[in-house]
Structure 1
Amino acid sequence: MSIDSLWLLQVFFAALADLAFASALGALLLRVWLGRERAFASMSPARGGYRRASRTSSVSALVFIACIFASLWLQSAAMSGSPILDAGASLWLVATATHAGVGWAVACAGGVLLALASGTSGALGAGRVAAAVLGAIVAAAGKAAVGHAADAGAFSIAEGVQTLHLLATGVWGGVVIAGAAAVLPALDTSVARASLVRIVSRMSHAAAIAVALAIATGVFNAWRGTGGSADVLTGSGWGRALLLKSALIACALMLGALSRWSALPRLQRTASTTDAHTVINVMRVEAVLMVMVFVTASVLSHSVPGFAS
């Protein structure tokens, strides 16, 4: 692994793409749940939350597309050996004739589908939800094809597991980040308190399922990356990054457990402003940890796997 300006830019845009992808997924889920509350109606007390979810999903999908294009541009610079500003000359060739380039192009296509599905502020119909799900799967599959899972070959089990891992972490991180940063504060009023309680409950259930899938697929990826040897965890930069990511995930899990088993039940009993603030604040800290997890994951994906080093 060579740490230079190109590597740092690749890590930055990959991390930002992961954050944008997760935010788009989380905001779309929140839109679906708020749609069941009919929060899109002009007189709904939860309308502010629905509007924020709509904006977050649309903007996040557009940021994801921009980051994927930037990553493809940087990949062209890395493969051609040309300066970053001159990489456009080889962009088309890399995008169509290399496995990594095709993966970025597929991810970009998934992002476009996500953006189209979340492009308006009206209620999400079944067709648009289906398009969003398809876009998310395509985007995750494209990103899986440019990571370490691609070493096992196209359409391999490793790529399939990584696709599921990206979707699971996207849902988990997305509902936390989009909820804490944008949607839940707009529901933190007395008239919208019932909607807040129901939305947080749905977020907790969805996150629990996503966490289980993320951990299962993450363990598989970690085992594959170490080659079955624990020595690489402390003997390589990749291994130390993996340990840091695991520690951050453990902290996020503890906060999620605190919210699910303590703060949320108390809010459901009292529906008080104090307990609502507690739930949102705990989720904000968890959101910061999830941002750090995505950044660490980007470092891992751009580092030489432990078994190889």
Structure 2
Amino acid sequence: MNVDGLWIGQVAMTALMNIAFAFAVGSALLAAWLAKDGGQKVAPARPALLRAQRSLVTGAVVLVLADLGWLIYQSATMSGVGLPEALGVVPSVLTQTHVGFAWSIAFGGALVLLLTSVASHEGVLRNALLWLAVIAVAAGKAGLGHAADAGIASAAIAMQTLHVLVTGVWGGLALSSGLAVLPALDTSTARGVLIRTAGQVSSLSLVAVVFVLLTGVFNAVRGSGGSFEAIDASTWGHVLTLKLALVALALVLGGLNRFSALPRLRRTASTMDAHTFNNVMYLEALAMLGIFVAAAVLSHSIPGFAAMG
């Protein structure tokens, strides 16, 4: 692993891709849940619905731009040239490498996600296209990482695709809820919608976390070759340890909300308990940002088993 400007740029673009994808997924879920309560212009949940819709569009736009930036950095790294010269290498990377194939799937999904996010009319077709686009982005992103070493049609790719999807759900709900949407429900008139939406966020996050942990264990074992020594003695292992610590922090914060703040909010519907839930969600969102950055570093680091020979 050569830590230079190109590597830092790749990691930055990957982190931005991770965060933007998750933000879009979480915002899409929240927009769907708030569609009924916020449908009327004078509804208390209207500001939250508008924030969710705008966050979805913003996440999709940033994802498209980050994809393009990542491709330029990747082309420069693969060809050994500078960024300006890399533009001329992009066509070859797209047509002659598995990276180009996987990126094309991810970028195509990102474009469809953007188009569906700005669609003026919602319906079954629009929603189906949106979630098919999410799956395409996840599959393409899986093919850009270490899982591709096992081949396109492999268990590693399938598990990584699932990992990207469920991480996008868990992390995306935390990011979009904590940083954008739920604060817009922090009024007494919207308290019922906040309680209901908070319950939906908590329940789906719990399901996503189970799959995140299962697929994460599979990836960790594969990356370390089943050796604790590979984790202890490699840069990849050190970054993995940091990521696990951040995951543990996010789990603790999510547990506090699910088992303490949310039950109290349901009992009292008080402003203080609403603030507590939203504040803990905000902290969980910050932890998620760290997790996505650590994941970006891992994807551009030599796996532990390879570093140990």
Q: TM-score range by the shorter chain?
A: over 0.9
How many residue pairs match? The answer is 307
Partner of 1:307: 305
Query: Could you report, residue by residue, the CA deviation over 1:63-108 in whole angstroms, capped at 9, with x for unpaired residues?
Result: 0011011111111111111111221101111012100111111111
Query: Could you report, residue by residue, the CA deviation over 1:145-196 in whole angstroms, capped at 9, with x for unpaired residues?
Result: 0100000001211001000000000000001100111101111111111111
Q: Determine whether 1:263 maps to 2:278.
A: no
Distance 1:76 1:95 in 2: 9
Distance 1:126 1:209 in 2: 24
**Partner residue of 2:124 out of 101, 120, 126:** 126
Query: Once the 2 structures are TM-superposed, how far is the Cα of residue 121 of structure 1 from its aligned partner?
Result: 6.1
Structure 1 range deviating more: 174-183 or 78-87: 78-87
Partner of 2:102: 103
Partner of 2:30: 30
Aligned ranges 1:184-263 → 2 under 5 Å: 184-263=182-261
SS in 1 for 2:189: coil
Q: Determine whether 1:158 maps to 2:152.
A: no
Distance 2:68 2:83 in 1: 13
1:26 maps to a residue whose letter is G
- The answer to whether the 8 A contact 1:54-1:121 is kept is no
Structure 1 range deviating more: 75-84 or 9-18: 75-84
SS in 1 for 2:246: helix
1:118 maps to a residue whose letter is S
Unpaired stretches in structure 1, ≥5 consecutive residues:
none
Runs of 4+ in 1 over 3 A off after TM superposition: none
Distance 2:120 2:261 in 1: 31
2:94 maps to a residue whose letter is A
Partner of 1:5: 5
CA root-mean-square deviation: 0.9
Query: Could you report, residue by residue, the CA deviation over 1:111-155 in whole angstroms, capped at 9, with x for unpaired residues?
Result: 111111211466x32222111110010001001001000000012
Partner of 1:15: 15
2:268 maps to a residue whose letter is T
Distance 1:26 1:266 in 2: 24
Q: Equivalent pairs: percent with the same residue?
A: 49
Partner of 2:84: 85
2:56 maps to a residue whose letter is S
Distance 1:234 1:293 in 2: 19
Unpaired stretches in structure 2, ≥5 consecutive residues:
none
Distance 2:95 2:33 in 1: 39
2:241 maps to a residue whose letter is L
